[in-house]
Structure 1
Amino acid sequence: MTELTCVGPDCTNAVKVKADLLCDGHYWQKRKGRPLTPLRPQARRGELRRWLERAVTIETNECIIWPFAAKDRDGYGQIKVDGVQRKAHAVALELASGEPAGDRQALHHCDNPPCVNRRHLYWGDSTDNNRDTVERLRHKGRSNLTHEEVREIRRRFIPRRRGVPSNALELATEFSTSRQAIWRAARGASFTRVE
C-alpha cells in the first residue's frame, strides 16, 4: 500500500488525517482556522548545534540571525543542550569563548535578540542586564507604558463628568493598553514618580 502525501502547499509529508489528506502541521493550521501555508522546515537532531558551531567562526560585524523556528516569546533563539533548553546566543558565546556561563548572562551589544554573532555578545550579570535594559529604553516595569506616554496621557485625559464621557477608551486604544491602566496612570495611582 502506498503512503498518501499531504495536499498542503509545498508539502511532501505523509498524511496523518485521511479525511482531509493533510499532515499534522497542515491539519492544525486548518483546525485553528488559518489559511494553509507552507510549513517551516523542522531542524534535524544536532542541526542547530552544528549551525551554531559554524556561525561562531564567521568573521563579520553584521548580525548573524538565528534562522530556526525555535525561539522564545522575546525572539531569542532556543537550543537544547544536554536535554536542557538554553538561549542560543549564550551557547554561541560559550562556544566562542570556551568558558561556561556559570552565573553569568550573555548580553548583546547590538540589542537584537536573535543575533548570535560572537562579536556582538559579552558576559555580564543580572545587574548589567538590568542596567542595559534601562539604558536602551526597553524597561517598562510591569506596565506597557513609558514615562513619556504617561505624561501625554495625563495631559490629554478627560475624566468622566455629567454629560461628558471620558476619553479613557480612546487613549487605551491609542496606547495599546487597558482602560484601567489609563485611569490609573492619569490619576496617579500608578507611575507615582512620573511628574
Structure 2
Amino acid sequence: MSTKFNVLIIIGSLREKSYNAAIARQLADLAPDNLELVYAPSIGTLPHYNQDVENAGFPKEVQAFADAIRAADGLIFVTPEYNYSVPGVLKNAIDWVSRLRPMPFDNKVGSIISASGGAIGGARMQHHLRQVMVAMNVHLVNRPEIMVGTVQNKADGDGGKLTDETTLTFIGNHLKELARVLELHHQKQQA
C-alpha cells in the first residue's frame, strides 16, 4: 500500500470568481487516493514584505502560512499569470516564507497548475515561478505541465467548474505524477 501524502494547495488569486480557485476546488475529485489535499491560508492577509516588519517579528499570518507549508509533504500552486509573470500577492507570500529558518519550502515536492483566458494558459508565469522554486529548493513535477488556455471556454460560467473532459483527465494525470514523485521522494528520504 502506498504512503498517504498531505498536499497543500496554494491559490495565487484573490478574485472571488477566479478560474484558478475553481480548479483548486476540483482537485480533490481528480486526485489519487493517496493524496490528502488541504488548502493554504489565504495569502491575501499577508502584509507586504518589509524587512523592518520582519525585524520586529514575523506576523502571525506569515507564521500560519509557513506552518501549513511545513506540515505538508507536497505543494500545488494553482495560479493565474499577471503581466507575463507571477501574481504579486503570491510572490509576496513566497518572499515572506523564504525569510524563515528553517525555510519551510526547503526540499518539498511541488507542482504548478495555471489557467488563463489567453491561449497559452499561464506559460510565462510558470517559467518564472519555476525559477523562484529553484531558489526555494522545491522539486517540481515537470510533466505533464498543466496550462489551461482559454479557460472561459472550458468551464461552466464565469469562474465556474471545469467541464472540459480532456482538461480534467490531463489534470488527473498530473496529480498521479505528483503522487508518484512524492512516493519516490519519500523513499529517498527514508533510505
The two structures have a TM-score, normalised by structure 2, of 0.21
Please identify which structure carries the higher strand content. Answer: 2
* Structure possessing the higher relative contact order (Cα contacts under 8 Å, 6 or more residues apart): 2
| Larger gyration radius, structure 1 or structure 2 | 1
Please identify which structure carries the higher helix content. Answer: 2
